[in-house]
Amino acid sequence: MNGDPLAPVYAQLKAIVPGIPEQDLPRFAKAITTPGPYSPGPDAQPREGVARGTVAQFRFERSGGAYPGVAREVRIYVPAHKPTQRLALMVFQDGARYLGPEANTATVFDNLIAEGKMPPTVGLFVEPGEAGPGLPIYGGAGNRSIEYDSLGPMYANFLIEELIPEATRDLPLAQSREMRAICGLSSGGICAFNAAWERPDYFSKVLSHCGSFVNIRGGHALAPAVRRVASKPLRVFLQTGEHDLDIVFGGWTLANRELAAALSYRNYDHRLVVGEGGHSLAHGGSILPESLIWLWRGTI
Q: What is the pLDDT of residue 82?
A: 82
Alpha carbon distances (Å) from 187 to 78, 181, 250: 26, 17, 13
pTM strictly above 0.85: yes
User: How far does CA 184 lie from the centroid of its chain?
Assistant: 0
Tens of pLDDT, residues 8-42 = 999 999 988 899 999 999 999 999 999 899 999 99
For 132, residues 6+ apart whose C-beta sits below 8 A from its C-beta are 70, 141, 142, 143, 144, 145, 146, 147
Tens of pLDDT, residues 189-232 = 999 999 999 999 999 999 999 999 999 999 999 999 999 999 99
Give the DSSP letter of residue 84: T
Angular region, 21: left φ>0, alpha ψ -120 to 50, beta rest:
beta
Tens of pLDDT, residues 236-277 = 999 999 999 999 999 999 999 999 999 999 999 999 999 999
Is the pLDDT reported for residue 2 higher than 70?
Answer: no
Using CA atoms, how far apart are residues 80 and 89, in angstroms rounded to an integer? 14
Using CA atoms, how far apart are residues 143 and 133, in angstroms rounded to an integer? 6
Using CA atoms, how far apart are residues 281 and 287, in angstroms rounded to an integer? 10
Any idea where the domains of the chain sit in the sequence?
34-296
For 118, residues 6+ apart whose C-beta sits below 8 A from its C-beta are 88, 109, 112, 292, 293, 296, 299, 300
Q: Are 249 and 215 in contact (CB under 8 A)?
A: yes
- 257 burial (CB, 10 Å; 0-12 / 13-18 / 19+) is middle
Protein fold of 34-296: Rossmann fold (3.40.50)
